Amino acid sequence: MRNIALIGMPATGKSSVGRQIALVLGLPFVDMDETIQSREDATIAEIFERHGEPHFRAIEEALIAEVTQAPGVVATGGGVVEREQNLQALRGWGWLVALIASPEAIARRVGRADQWPLLKGQVVENLQKLWARRSSKYLSADLVVDVGHEDVDGVVRKILGFLAEREPVASIDVNPGKAQPYRAVVGRGILGLLGHYAREAGLSGRAGILASPAAARRHGEQICDALQGAGLDPVLIEVPAGESVKTWESAGGLYGRLAREQIDRTGCLVAMGGEEVLDVGGFVAGTYMRGIPVVHVPTTLMAQLDSCIGGKVALNHFRAKNLIGFLHHPRLAVADVAAVGGSGARSMREGFAESVKYGVIADADLFAFLEAHAAELLDESGQRLPELVAWCLRTKARFVEEDEEGVGRRMLLNYGHTFGHAIEASTGFHRYTHGEAVAIGMTLAARVSAAMGLACESLETRQSALLRRFGLPTDFSGVATSRLVEALWRDKKRQGASLRFVLPNCVGRAEVRGDVPIELVARVLGEHGAAPERAPGA
C-alpha cells in the first residue's frame, strides 16, 4: 500500500480527512501545519509575521523530507505545491490527493480567515489569486476531489475507493454453479479498504466481526473503522482460537450472541482469523436466520491461499473432523498478506504445503515459481506473497467453478489428504499440523504413484526437495502400520465407496485412483516411518 499526501486549497478539510484515512489504513498521520505550529510554538500567522513566508516554506520543505522517510498519511499546508521539489518528494513517496473547491465555497467554509495569512482581506479575491497560481499543480494530482458538495465521510470514501482501484491488488472472481459469484481480493496493507470492498459487494447494515483473540487484537479496531467508514455498523465478537472454536457447542453459543447484538438478515458476518474461524463463521452465517452473507478475512497463509474461497464450511465432531458441514460461499474474501505476519513460521509452512499441492495437482508453472522463489517467500518481508496467494486462489477458483459440490475434479484438492488424515488421526491431531501431515501425505502418494508406474521420474525428487526447502517433513515416526491402515479404512467407510487416492502423474497433473493395492499402501507407510508391527505381548 502506498502512502498518501493530501494537498489542496485552504479550508478544504485536509486535516480531518487525513486523520480518518490514516485511522482506516492503520498508518501514522502527520498534519504539517499543526506539527510546525507546535514545534515553533507559534501560529502560522505569527511565523509569517515574524520570519516571512520564505522561512516558513523552508521549514515545510525540511518537514516533508522528514515525513517521507516512513509510511504514513500526511496533510500538507496549502502552499506546499508551490515548490516543485516538494511535489517530487511527495510523489516519490505516495499517492498525491488534492482537495479542491471553488473560492466561493471555500469562503463560505472559512468564515473568519484569521488562521490563513494569505486570505486576509478580500477572501474570495485572494482565493481566486491562489487558485490561479496553484490550480495546475492541484489538477495534476493522482486524485482530485471537489469537496464543495461532500462531507468528510464522503471525501474519505472517495479516496478509499480510489485506493481500492489503484493499489496493486489481485482480484480473483469465483463463479460457483449455484451460489452468487463473488471475488477474492489479495494485496498488502489492504485491510483498511475492507469497507470499500464490502460496499462494492453490496453489503450493508449491522456487521458482526467474528475474530480470534490474536486477529481481534491486531486488526479489530482497524477493520471496525474501515467498515464504519463505509457506512456499515460493525461489532467485534471475539471467539476462541484454534480448533476449539469449531465445536458444535462453540458454534451454538454464537447464535444468541448475534441475536443479542441485533444482527439480522439485513446485515452480515465477517470471519477474521485462521481457517477454523472461517469455518465456524461460514457455518453460523449460513444457518443464522436462514442464512446471511459472510465475508472472509483470512489471517493465516493457508486460510488465504486455500480456505477463504470455495464455500466449504464445517464443524468438528469427536467422531470425525468436519463431519458437520455444508456449502455456504462467502460474499467476499479479502486476503491482506500483511496480516499473516504474526501467525508464526509453522503456520506459514502450512500455507506453503498447500501451495505445493496446487502446483503438483494442477499447475507446473506455479510449482516452478515456488522452486524459483522459495527463499524470497520464506523471507520475513515476503514480497512475493501476494503473487503466491493470488496464484493459488486462481487455481482453486477454477476447481470450484468446474465442480462446486466436490464430487468430480475438485476431489484432486484432496491430494496428500488421505494419508495425511490417517497420520493426523493416528497421532491424535497433536504431533503434526494439518499442513505437515499433508506434506508427508503428498510424499507417500507420490511414492505410491511411482511404485505403480504412474509417475514421471523427477516428480518425487522435485516435490520432496521443495517441501524440505519450506521446512516441511517428508516422513514421520512412531506410528504402527496397522493403526494407519485402520485409520485409512475408517476414511473409506465414511466415503461409502472404495478407498481412493489422488496420485500425481507429474508436476502439474494428478488423477484419482481406486485401485491402489493395500499391500503397497502398507509397504510405503513402512518405508516412510510407520513402525513395524510388534508381536502381541512383545
Q: How far is the CB of 304 from a second copy (least distance, A)?
A: 23
Of 95 and 288, which CB lies nearer to a second copy in the complex structure? 288
Identify the CA nearest to 413 among candidates 358, 352, 466, 351.
358
Q: Which of 84, 132, 428, 497 binds a second copy (CB under 8 A)?
A: 497
Could you say whether residue 260 binds a second copy (CB under 8 A)? yes
Of 493 and 534, which CB lies nearer to a second copy in the complex structure? 493
Distance CA 264, CA 231 (A): 16
Footprint of a second copy on 387-416 (CB under 8 A): 406
Q: How far is the CB of 291 from a second copy (least distance, A)?
A: 5
Q: Which of 242, 291, 514, 517 binds a second copy (CB under 8 A)?
A: 291
**Contact, 309 vs 396, CB < 8 A?**
yes
Footprint of a second copy on 167-186 (CB under 8 A): 178
Cell representation of residue 4: 498518501
Could you say whether residue 326 binds a second copy (CB under 8 A)? yes
Could you say whether residue 318 binds a second copy (CB under 8 A)? yes
Of 205 and 471, which CB lies nearer to a second copy in the complex structure? 205
Of 190 and 314, which CB lies nearer to a second copy in the complex structure? 314
**Contact, 382 vs 478, CB < 8 A?**
no
Q: Which of 19, 109, 317, 469 binds a second copy (CB under 8 A)?
A: 317
- Apex 241 CA angle, 237 and 244, nearest 5: 105
Distance CA 172, CA 355 (A): 16
Distance CA 514, CA 499 (A): 6
For 11-15, the CB contacts below 8 A with 24+ separation are 11/106, 11/109, 11/110, 11/116, 12/99, 12/100, 12/101, 12/106, 12/109, 12/147, 13/99, 13/147, 13/152, 13/155, 14/75, 14/76, 14/99, 15/75
Could you say whether residue 286 binds a second copy (CB under 8 A)? yes
Of 229 and 325, which CB lies nearer to a second copy in the complex structure? 325
Footprint of a second copy on 233-252 (CB under 8 A): 248-249, 252
Q: Which of 65, 139, 289, 372 binds a second copy (CB under 8 A)?
A: 289
Q: How far is the CB of 348 from a second copy (least distance, A)?
A: 29
Of 79 and 282, which CB lies nearer to a second copy in the complex structure? 282
Could you say whether residue 256 binds a second copy (CB under 8 A)? yes
Binding span for a second copy by CB under 8 A among 147-155, 313-321, 453-461, 469-477: 313-321
For 248-251, the CB contacts below 8 A with 24+ separation are 248/315, 248/317, 248/324, 250/280, 251/280, 251/283, 251/284, 251/315
Q: How far is the CB of 157 from a second copy (least distance, A)?
A: 23
Binding span for a second copy by CB under 8 A among 69-77, 128-136, 157-165, 254-262: 254-262
Could you say whether residue 329 binds a second copy (CB under 8 A)? no
Could you say whether residue 535 binds a second copy (CB under 8 A)? no
Cell representation of residue 521: 499402501
Of 246 and 312, which CB lies nearer to a second copy in the complex structure? 312
Distance CA 448, CA 468 (A): 19
Q: How far is the CB of 262 from a second copy (least distance, A)?
A: 7
Neighbours of 289 (CB within 10 A): 13
Could you say whether residue 495 binds a second copy (CB under 8 A)? yes
| Alpha-carbon Rg for the chain in angstroms | 28
The phi and psi torsions of 453 (rounded to 5 degrees) equal 75, 25
Q: Which residues pair with 185 in a beta bridge?
A: 171, 334
Q: Which of 58, 139, 323, 465 binds a second copy (CB under 8 A)?
A: 323
Of 130 and 294, which CB lies nearer to a second copy in the complex structure? 294
Distance CA 504, CA 521 (A): 15
Of 261 and 511, which CB lies nearer to a second copy in the complex structure? 261
Q: Which of 29, 48, 255, 429 binds a second copy (CB under 8 A)?
A: 255
For residues 262 to 281, the per-residue mask of contacts with a second copy, x marking binding by CB under 8 A and - elsewhere, is x-xxxx--------------
Q: How far is the CB of 430 from a second copy (least distance, A)?
A: 22
Of 179 and 480, which CB lies nearer to a second copy in the complex structure? 179
The phi and psi torsions of 270 (rounded to 5 degrees) equal -120, 125
- Which are the contacts of 106, defined by CB distance < 8 A and separation ≥ 6? 9, 10, 11, 12, 127
Compute how many residues bind a second copy; rule: CB under 8 A: 40
Could you say whether residue 428 binds a second copy (CB under 8 A)? no
Q: How far is the CB of 473 from a second copy (least distance, A)?
A: 29
Residue whose grid cell is 486570505: 119
Of 176 and 529, which CB lies nearer to a second copy in the complex structure? 176
Looking at this protein, which amino acid is placed at residue 459?
Answer: L
Cell representation of residue 371: 522452486
Distance CA 425, CA 431 (A): 10
Could you say whether residue 287 binds a second copy (CB under 8 A)? yes
The site for a second copy (CB under 8 A) is made up of 178, 205-206, 248-249, 252, 255-256, 259-260, 262, 264-267, 283, 286-291, 312, 314, 317-320, 323-328, 406, 493-497
